[in-house]
Amino acid sequence: MPRRRIVLYNPPTVFFTMPLGLLAVASGLDPARWDVEIVDGRLHREPVGTLLAALDGADTLGIGVLTGDPIRHALEASRAARSRYPRLHVVWGGWHPSLFPESCLREAPIDAVVVGAGQRAFSRLVEAWAGGGDLAALPGVAARTPGGEIVHGPPGELPELDALPPLDYGRIDVDAYFARKGRRQLDYIGSVGCRFRCAFCADPQVYQRSWTGMTADRMGDELSSLVRRHRAHEVAFQDETFFTKRSRIDELCDALLRGGVAFRWTATLRADQGARMPVSLLERCRDLGFDHAIIGVESAYEPMLKQIRKDVRMDQVWETASRLRDLGIGATWNFIVGFAGEPEESVMASLDAARRLRAMSPRFRTPIFFYKPYPGSPTAEAVERAGFPLPRTLEGWSRFDFVGADARSPWMDPRLRTRVERFGFYQDHAYGAPTPPWKWPLRVAARLRVETGRFGMPVEKLLVERLRPSERLS
């Protein structure tokens, strides 16, 4: 029997992380039955034109959709594909359709959405279309029947990652991502979901606070061969909480040691985990390439931390910071300001903690994000209650993005918002890697401002922005 053709599409987004979601979906399909091609809109000058050419002879188009601008691109691609190939099945999967399956099915020209993990669900869906199965019985799928009715299958299950074949990176042009990133950094993931309950995050809703991970042995084997094959210098683990199980991390270290391949790696770390883990384990990870941690501090104000259910205390942040500094591991400490109703003292406490962290190590960064109520979380609902309605339609969500002027928590006191923006600018110039001598005056002025907390008349900022306007991201 001839193989049926499926095209998987990643709409343009900011940054060049490898499309692991599409690779995972492709890996769940029987290669004897399905011929799968991945088109990444970020790599092509004419993304939709490239997609339409790839769709020639295809039965199914699958698109991975994040909230925000990617929806606009997904709509454009779906409409173009539908109009050129009217018999094509179009499926959306990923985070936005997982949160709003109904709205996607009603408002986009698509036949089905996959809710949550896609490996098994997508494979069952295309098999049902090929063989005439009952769409309403498919776990993790919501679909439109030929009669136009919307049917929902039962909730999908978390995949047993060890039971699935490895992601086939041969399906993407790995070197093209290295070139776009400007470093030979491979993206990899060894788990799904997260057990924590942060009130601003979509993960608890999509994966119901469950977590499953591949065995460390398998990760070690895959990483050693991937790093060798692609001559990668670094690996970026995309897991939501990489250090979830201490014993597994220890086993991973054993496996990496056995694999004998050296590479630097970056991974997410919760501050409570960093403070609880034995220092010897962190040290072992460092010796095996752990070079950069990504840590969500979110807020340095304890009542706010409680309200957003971070389940982390500031003493754990400081303990983790001292440990990482002493071990020479870099870290990005992410802060969020502007939750609905957040008091000024909370924002000020976060700015102060960011300053202190920045001063601790030249390898620490402390980006401060304005809270953006990404859907599917209690803090987004709080924004609605504060009188700022969230989008109601798919088009509305497509204009909702984390960059641009409207992304700066409009419910925040404008004076405080300006202060955060100025702090962000000056702290970037105050600390970090050594700068060339001609930038020293800016560094001295920025350090003085950050340390004294005086941000009035920001002449340096105006000058730098005039000389180098900031890039538009998406």
User: Where on the chain is the footprint of ligand SF4 (CB under 6 A)?
Assistant: 194, 196-198, 201, 203-204, 240-241, 270, 296
Count helices and strands (H / E) in the chain.
Answer: 20, 16
Question: Cβ-closest residue to ligand B12?
Answer: 93
Judged by beta carbon, residue 272 or residue 395, the one nearer ligand SF4 is: 272
User: Which residues would be at the binding site for ligand B12 (CB under 6 A)?
Assistant: 8, 10, 13-15, 17, 19-22, 24-25, 62-64, 66-70, 91, 93-96, 114, 117-119, 122, 189, 201-203, 238-240, 374, 401-402, 474
d(CA 340, CA 410): 10
Judged by beta carbon, residue 25 or residue 39, the one nearer ligand B12 is: 25
Judged by beta carbon, residue 5 or residue 323, the one nearer ligand B12 is: 5
Contact of residue 329 among ligand SF4, ligand B12, none (CB under 5-8 Å per partner type): none
Judged by beta carbon, residue 197 or residue 233, the one nearer ligand SF4 is: 197
Q: How far is the CB of 439 from ligand B12 (least distance, A)?
A: 28
d(CA 303, CA 314): 11
d(CA 182, CA 16): 10
Q: How far is the CB of 139 from ligand B12 (least distance, A)?
A: 13
Q: How far is the CB of 456 from ligand B12 (least distance, A)?
A: 30
Judged by beta carbon, residue 95 or residue 339, the one nearer ligand B12 is: 95
Q: How far is the CB of 157 from ligand B12 (least distance, A)?
A: 11
Q: How far is the CB of 189 from ligand SF4 (least distance, A)?
A: 13
Q: How far is the CB of 240 from ligand SF4 (least distance, A)?
A: 4
Q: Distance of CA 324 to CAs 30, 106, 271, 405, Å?
A: 44, 49, 11, 35
Contact of residue 19 among ligand SF4, ligand B12, none (CB under 5-8 Å per partner type): ligand B12
Judged by beta carbon, residue 201 or residue 351, the one nearer ligand B12 is: 201
Long-range own/partner contacts, residues 119-123 (CB < 8 A, 24 or more apart) = 119/24, 119/25, 119/27, 119/28, 119/159, 119/164, 120/28, 120/156, 120/157, 120/159, 121/93, 121/156, 122/25, 122/28, 122/29, 122/62, 122/91, 122/93, 123/28, 123/29, 123/30
Q: How far is the CB of 188 from ligand SF4 (least distance, A)?
A: 17
d(CA 112, CA 97): 10
Judged by beta carbon, residue 243 or residue 265, the one nearer ligand SF4 is: 243
Contact of residue 190 among ligand SF4, ligand B12, none (CB under 5-8 Å per partner type): none
Judged by beta carbon, residue 118 or residue 204, the one nearer ligand SF4 is: 204
Strands (E), 206-360: 211-213, 234-237, 264-268, 290-298, 330-337
Judged by beta carbon, residue 224 or residue 332, the one nearer ligand SF4 is: 332
Contact of residue 198 among ligand SF4, ligand B12, none (CB under 5-8 Å per partner type): ligand SF4
Contacts of 376 (CB under 8 A, 6+ apart): 99, 202, 205, 206
Q: How far is the CB of 449 from ligand SF4 (least distance, A)?
A: 31
Q: How far is the CB of 206 from ligand SF4 (least distance, A)?
A: 10
- The DSSP annotation for 88-103 comes to -EEEEESHHHHH-HHH
Contact of residue 119 among ligand B12, ligand SF4, none (CB under 5-8 Å per partner type): ligand B12
Q: How far is the CB of 196 from ligand SF4 (least distance, A)?
A: 4
Contact of residue 296 among ligand SF4, ligand B12, none (CB under 5-8 Å per partner type): ligand SF4
- The DSSP annotation for 297-330 comes to EE-S-HHHHHHTT----HHHHHHHHHHHHHHT-E
Judged by beta carbon, residue 12 or residue 204, the one nearer ligand SF4 is: 204
Phi, psi of 179 (to 5 degrees): -65, -45
Long-range own/partner contacts, residues 168-171 (CB < 8 A, 24 or more apart) = 168/23, 168/26, 168/27, 169/18, 169/23, 169/226, 169/229, 169/230, 171/23, 171/26, 171/36, 171/37, 171/38
Judged by beta carbon, residue 39 or residue 340, the one nearer ligand B12 is: 39
Q: Which residues are registered as beta bridge partners of 36?
A: 6
- The DSSP annotation for 48-85 comes to HHHHHHHTTT-SEEEEE--SSHHHHHHHHHHHHHHHH-
Q: How far is the CB of 115 from ligand B12 (least distance, A)?
A: 9
Helix (H) / strand (E) containing 287: helix 279-287
